[in-house]
Amino acid sequence: GELLNAISARHREILVLRLVVGLSAEETAVAIGSTAGAVRVAQHRALQKLKAEHAQSDARRRRSDPS
């Protein structure tokens, strides 16, 4: 939950429609009033942001856990 707060509501919506619901980029574009290309770019950016946030979170956790 907390990790998802790192991305915008629009990006969360796109990820849910694409990865959870299973819509194509074209179907997602129709659902949100965008283009398939824009959906693909937004999905890529959202996933990159989540990966970066996850890596930062892991690094912080390792620094604070001496074991």
- Tens of pLDDT, residue by residue over 14-40, are 999 999 999 999 999 999 999 999 999
CA dist 5 to 13, 17, 39, Å? 12, 17, 19
Q: Which domain holds residue 44?
A: 3-64
CATH of the domain at 51: 1.10.10.10
Are the C-beta atoms of residues 29 and 23 closer than 8 Å to each other? no
Looking at the structure of the chain, the number of domains it has is: 1
- Given this model, what pLDDT does residue 50 score? 96
**Mean pLDDT rounded to a whole number for the chain:** 93
Instruction: Assess whether pLDDT exceeds 70 at residue 46.
Output: yes
